[in-house]
Structure 1
């Protein structure tokens, strides 16, 4: 392959990659600049304007942002911890003591993610109402854990399969019990993968909107409900809606940016031997 051909191929690949990156980032960029506009300016397709904090002041005056943010943090951390506590023993059992139906169980678990959430909204709503879980942080943690648990089990199972079984067998011969194997050998060896699983669960829980809007109203409402509150029958106020959206997504975007190396490392854990 000639040098000119290689440079041309590299240039085309770079141009396509940048085009896709700009296409993905553009909605976020437009939301950011719209949040610093007035409502009149928000309807103008222009990137040149006089920035203002008016929309942010109105958002803080109208809503208790810290309360919504606190609920999002509590729910996301609770879901992440509970999902990992349930997923790690399940993945351990499936990875090191597989049965004839292990693969079918894994496929069934993932198939539940394909079911539309609206299909089970009514029975879940009635169950939560009768159980006193409606509009509670614990109620949202439970439902978020149920919908994210298949992903946690699948990812943990994949990482555990990369750990040599001989190491655990040697520990078992030395007298280690199941929990000692998990805590002293398995978890340290698969820590990058489990860390990426935790980050993914945190992001999914933070961004979940369907269940939070339908199962909470005021006391346990997270930031997704905070955003939805700026969509009213009177119309959409784009500047205030953009300001609220930026306040909601900024924390998780900053976390994702700071943890991107760990996330990539964990998602590629075991891919190269």
Structure 2
């Protein structure tokens, strides 16, 4: 008579346990980094007397009064100035950066590396070192407190980074495509517009998004060169820090409203952003 052997329960692979631990650790780190943003959003829905309590108020009745107060404090004109400065400077960066990046990638000059270093070296100078001559020049040209002054400065600020990024994207375009277009008789404008730009569209989107973020969040030039007519959203946020105290809840609501456009744009373009930043990473 033969004994019937009972099957042993399958052992859980050791790799799956490590994967679960790694996933839990990743979520913990992600929540740690996101927690200030979550706390900012929660504070925006509190009353002012609940925003700075010790210990913090965790349970409260949400209210939209702080957002209403921010809108009543003329938030929209500041947002309009930020929108004009951001969109106009980003468009100018792409218009100027695409031909420069194309020339430095497809038809490089003799000392291309020196040119690229010159571009990026402008980012090594502290902004505070140039604000006085810029202020004097803007005053002489009667361009103080003018949103188009910010457009010019934001364009100059983002152009070096854009040229470096766009050049790397141009280098990823297969040379055979360009040669085939030349054989077919396409000129330089046609090659750039109809052949190369569609291929590197994710890279252009990634460059535009990064320039948009930098321009929207820029504070130093805006606070020193604007007053009442051309002030941007970052300058508007400083209005809640007064001699009477810090209005934490209202400042949080204003910060949420100021961040929302960039978050929406980034969320909408996240696929293009990931594709653009990963161009050439996998061969």
Task: Spell out, residue by residue over 1:169-228, the C-alpha distance to the aligned partner (whole angstroms, 9 max, x if none).
Answer: 332343322212211111111111111111111121111111111111121112111112
Greater helix content: 1
CA distance in 1 between partners of 2:25 and 2:160 (Å): 34
2-structure distance, mates of 1:80, 1:177: 27
- For 1:126, the equivalent position in structure 2 comes to 136
Residue of structure 2 equivalent to 1:6: 15
1:253 aligns with 2:263: yes
236-245 or 98-107, which moves further after superposition? 98-107
1:112 aligns with 2:122: yes
What's the Cα RMSD here? 1.8
1:53-92 alpha-carbon deviations (Å, 9 max, x no partner) = 222232222x212211111111111011000001000000
**1:1-45 Cα deviation digits (max 9, x unpaired):** x97432233123212321221122111111111111112101121
- More displaced stretch, 196-205 vs 146-155: 196-205
Q: Report the 3-state secondary structure (helix = DSSP H, G, I; strand = E; otherwise coil) of the residue aligned with 2:46.
A: coil
Match of 1:241 in 2: 251
Distance in 2 between the 1:253 and 1:159 partners? 24
Match among 44, 56, 81 for residue 67 of structure 2: 56
Q: Distance in 1 between matches of 2:15 and 2:143?
A: 60
Q: Secondary structure at the match of 2:23?
A: helix
Q: CA deviation at 1:256?
A: 1.3
Q: 1:127-178, CA deviations, whole angstroms, 9 ceiling, x for partnerless residues?
A: 1121222211211011011111111101100000011223223323433222
Within 5 Å, give how 1:43-192 maps onto structure 2.
Answer: 43-44=52-53, 45-61=56-72, 63-192=73-202
SS of the equivalent of 2:130 reads: helix
2:41 is the alignment partner of 1:32: yes
TM-score, normalization by structure 2: 0.90
Residue of structure 2 in register with 1:225 after alignment = 235
Residues in 2 aligned to 1:214 and 1:224: alpha-carbon distance in whole angstroms: 12
1: CA distance, partners of 2:120 / 2:12: 46
Structure 1 runs, 4 residues or longer, greater than 6 Å off: none
Q: Alignment length, in residue pairs?
A: 271
SS in 2 for 1:195: helix
- TM-score computed with the length of structure 1 as normaliser: 0.93
CA separation of 1:93/1:50 partners in 2, compared to 1, >3 Å: closer, same or farther? Answer: same
Bigger mean CA deviation after superposition, 8-17 or 138-147: 8-17
Counterpart-to-counterpart distance in 2, 1:254 and 1:206: 13
Q: Distance in 2 between matches of 1:253 and 1:226?
A: 19
Instruction: Decide which structure has the larger Cα Rg and report it.
Output: 2
